[in-house]
């Protein structure tokens, strides 16, 4: 094990609210291995997290100009399990900004903490990732308001983009079953029917290879 490999869970926001939520998530994961059933089991705890006030510090709720997603979008790691199989992070999208169309490659829950977003959900029609080809179909557009949330369950319901439609930045909270900022995912261009490798990174914590320099 190298010094950069964690030996314990990492709490970048360490509060009773976050600790209680993560404890509930870990208990649910131990009891339910099926991702589809797990996300349903986690709905009450995730709803309570979104409704709780005052637990997210300002430094995890601001835009980030050096964003790996572009558009000043900040992605802040709040919690990561020692084995990197679970992360909790905030995504800050400035007013009028839109994320790239992207996937997540893991089960998850995504909910809005502040502001309002328009989410566009896509389904893959034909993909050849090695050739950089991906034909997508827009299957749903929906408005997401504070306190509302949705599930991610690859290979369905995993490709989307979000646009902030409120006058202030939107802040969403993501619980993902992987190290979402550091794994290589996919960025899509629906008009060009193309796809490229993509790693969003975290605004507050480097990935291991970045830390090694």
| Predicted confidence (pLDDT) per residue in 106-124, tens digit | 999 999 999 999 999 999 9
Please indicate whether residue 147 or residue 3 has the higher confidence score (pLDDT).
147
Q: What is the pLDDT of residues 121-156, one digit of tens each?
A: 999 999 999 999 999 999 999 999 999 999 999 988
Q: What is the DSSP letter of 100?
A: P
Segment 69-99, tens digit of pLDDT: 889 999 999 999 999 999 999 999 999 999 9
CA separation, residue 56 to residues 85, 91, 171, 172, 179 (Å): 22, 12, 10, 11, 20
* Distance separating alpha carbons of residues 42 and 36, to the nearest angstrom: 10
Say how far apart CA 72 and CA 38 lie, in whole Å.
33
pLDDT of residue 1: 40
Q: Which CATH number fits domain 10-203: 2.60.120.10, 3.40.50.10710, 3.30.70.890, 3.30.110.40?
A: 2.60.120.10
Asked if 157 and 106 count as a contact pair (C-beta separation under 8 A), the reply is: no
Query: In the chain, what are the domain boundaries?
Result: 10-203
CA dihedral 94, 100, 102, 107 (to 10 degrees): 0
- Token couple for 168: 């202030």
- pLDDT per residue over 153-207, tens digit each? 998 889 999 999 999 999 999 999 999 999 999 999 999 999 999 999 999 999 9
Buried b (16+ CB within 10 A) or exposed e, 170-185: bbbbbbbbbbbbbbeb
Task: Please state the pTM of the whole predicted model.
Answer: 0.94
**pLDDT confidence of residue 67:** 83
Q: How far apart are CA 120 and CA 117, in angstroms?
A: 10
């Amino acid at each position: 094990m190298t010094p950069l490999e964690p030996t314990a869970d990492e709490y970048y926001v360490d509060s009773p609210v976050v600790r209680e939520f993560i404890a509930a998530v870990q208990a649910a994961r131990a009891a339910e291995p099926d991702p589809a059933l797990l996300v349903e089991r986690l709905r009450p705890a995730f709803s309570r997290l979104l409704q709780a006030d005052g637990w997210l510090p300002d430094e995890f709720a601001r835009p980030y100009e050096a964003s790996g997603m572009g558009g000043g979008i900040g992605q802040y790691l709040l919690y990561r399990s020692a084995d990197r199989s679970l992360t909790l992070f905030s995504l800050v999208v400035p007013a009028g900004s839109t994320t790239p169309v992207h996937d997540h490659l893991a089960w998850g829950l995504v909910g809005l903490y502040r502001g309002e977003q328009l989410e566009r959900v896509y389904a893959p029609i034909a993909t050849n990732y090695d050739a950089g080809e991906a034909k997508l179909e827009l299957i749903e557009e929906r408005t997401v308001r504070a306190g509302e949330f949705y599930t991610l369950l690859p290979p369905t319901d995993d490709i989307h983009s979000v646009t902030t439609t409120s006058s202030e930045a939107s802040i969403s909270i993501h619980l993902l079953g992987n190290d979402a900022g550091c794994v290589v995912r996919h960025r899509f261009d629906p008009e060009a029917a193309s796809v490229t490798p993509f790693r969003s990174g975290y605004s507050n914590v480097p990935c291991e290879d970045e830390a090694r320099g």
